Structure 1
Amino acid sequence: MSSTSSTTTAAGTADGTRLTLDIWHPDCWGLQATEAVDAGLLVHTVHRTVEETVKGHFTVYADTTAQLDEFVTFADESPLTHSTVELGQRSTGTAPSPGNATRELFVEYEPEHSISDTLVSHGFIHDVSVRVEGGVEHWPVFVADGRTEIQDRLETIRAQTDAEISISKIASADGDSPGAPDRTDRLTPRQREAFELACDRNYYAWPREISTRELADELDVSKTTLLEHLRKAEAKLLNPDAA
């Protein structure tokens, strides 16, 4: 996985900056699991145990329960985890769940296999749940510095952890948080990939600049599968109560 150049949407200020960091780092069970299995992961809370290991609360999401089973098996058998406790279906509550199927997990592992402590020690404050998809962690964070200091800190973290880090969003502290609710977070990885490609290729323009068949060929799926992904993505984006 190669590091990409940082892109920004707005400049940070001396009063503080909100960022979304896209991160890959070595020896992470969550990165390996989401790269091996077509599923995503939400990281809610992570705590140190009395044994000085780390125990985290996660939601795994996917298109099917079979993919959830595959993910849980991968996590449980990973040499990077000590234990995996499955809690079952996530309660929907008032917040929409991502994907079509979700499951709650508690996973215990070694702290050096997480980048969380390193980010915090360099002033990057975790904002909302971290999303992990396709072997990349997406961290919404706040840091009380401007852009020059941020770049210096990120270079230090890269050197310390051998991590690959790019900035996908940046805004001033009084602007919208990059972790603010976004309905695209409710899409499965396949739905998001199909919808974003459709937007990039002006599938929704009039007249359309790409056919359904051409779009399906780019994704290497059947036309029926593409239309199913787009239909479900559109339903979730247009209807807050859609499954």
Structure 2
Amino acid sequence: MSSTSSTTTAARTTDGTRLTLEIWHPDCWGLQATESVDAGLLVHTVHRTVDETVKGHFTVYADTTAQLDEFVAFTEASPLTHSTVEVGKRPASTAPHPGNAARELFVEYAPEHSISDTLVSQGFIHDASVRVEGGVEHWPVFVADDREAIRNRLETVRAEIDAEISISKIASADGAAPDSTDRLDRLTPRQREAFDLACERNYYAWPREISTRELADELGVSKTTLLEHLRKAEAKLLNPDDA
């Protein structure tokens, strides 16, 4: 689960790269809830309490109020949360997000069940609301570093908390997308096959139209092998100096 930083606005004027990261990490109530219930979650603000827990303000959205009820019940029953407080309901006509119904929640949980501190420690600055859907966190982040350093920072995050991280969007600090056409030639045949299939099947779209397991099955490889192909392809697209 995520948290926000008040330094985000100031950092936007710094040269660097904007990324959207798709993240899974263990022991996260939000990932478990959105994987079990057909509902999504928007993360607005998160902060540490005096008791050194994490308390966040979230919007849960779904197609029906029954799905919202199921989501809240799942969150309340989760051993990964300390408390869940419902603070209001949004009428379907004014909900500024997917689904026909939405509800505001305050959830308190332990900081070790969040990936936020690890991302911040590696220089990734929260850049917009985090969306959690289908057991995946979608993190818009800014990082003021070169692309080789970004690759190393992502590997550190993956190793520290056993996270699965892929990159679904890359842009320069001014919002311009990088020219990756020539860099596609740097991919091995298997990396290109995996990356092209992922793009063709809208693996990087929102909402994602195919799961990692389904994509791996279609490619005829294990989920681990697929993620490795995609990770290496993304690394080469990030770093123009890679051979």
Question: TM-score, normalising length from structure 1?
Answer: 0.65
Match of 1:97 in 2: 97
Asked if the contact 1:59–1:90 (Cα under 8 Å) also holds between the matched residues in 2, the reply is no
Match of 1:61 in 2: 61
Distance apart, 1:15 and its partner CA: 2.4
Distance apart, 1:193 and its partner CA: 5.3
- In the superposition, relative to structure 1, how do residues 174 and 93 fare at CA in structure 2: closer, same or farther (>3 Å)? farther
Match of 2:125 in 1: 125
Match of 1:8 in 2: none
What is the alpha-carbon distance in structure 1 between the residues aligned to residue 90 and residue 49 of structure 2?
Answer: 24
Distance apart, 1:98 and its partner CA: 2.6
Q: Quick check: 1:108 aligned with 2:108?
A: yes
User: Number of residues paired by the alignment?
Assistant: 169
Match of 1:42 in 2: 42
- In the superposition, relative to structure 1, how do residues 193 and 111 fare at CA in structure 2: closer, same or farther (>3 Å)? closer
- In the superposition, relative to structure 1, how do residues 17 and 165 fare at CA in structure 2: closer, same or farther (>3 Å)? same
AA paired with 1:32?
Q
Distance apart, 1:94 and its partner CA: 8.3
Match of 1:9 in 2: none
Match of 2:73 in 1: 73
Q: Quick check: 1:88 aligned with 2:117?
A: no
AA paired with 2:26?
P
Match of 1:137 in 2: 137
1:22-33 pair list within 5 angstroms: 22-33=22-33
What is the alpha-carbon distance in structure 2 between the residues aligned to residue 156 and residue 132 of structure 1?
Answer: 22
What is the alpha-carbon distance in structure 2 between the residues aligned to residue 91 and residue 101 of structure 1?
Answer: 7
What is the alpha-carbon distance in structure 1 between the residues aligned to residue 122 and residue 207 of structure 2?
Answer: 33
Distance apart, 1:146 and its partner CA: 1.8
AA paired with 2:136?
V
Q: How high is the sequence identity, in percent, across the aligned residues? A: 81
Q: Residue 174 of structure 1: SS of its match in structure 2?
A: coil
What is the alpha-carbon distance in structure 2 between the residues aligned to residue 76 and residue 84 of structure 1?
Answer: 6
Runs of at least 5 residues in structure 1 that lack an aligned partner in the other structure: 1-13, 178-191, 198-243
Distance apart, 1:96 and its partner CA: 2.1
1:138-217 pair list within 5 angstroms: 138-175=138-175
Asked if the contact 1:63–1:99 (Cα under 8 Å) also holds between the matched residues in 2, the reply is yes
Write out per-residue CA displacement over residues 77-121 of structure 1, whole angstroms, 9 at most, x where no aligned residue.
000000000012137898823311000000000000000111111
Q: Residue 27 of structure 1: SS of its match in structure 2?
A: coil
Between the two structures, name the one with larger relative contact order (CA 8 Å, sep ≥ 6).
1
- In the superposition, relative to structure 1, how do residues 121 and 91 fare at CA in structure 2: closer, same or farther (>3 Å)? farther
Runs of at least 5 residues in structure 2 that lack an aligned partner in the other structure: 1-13, 178-205, 211-243
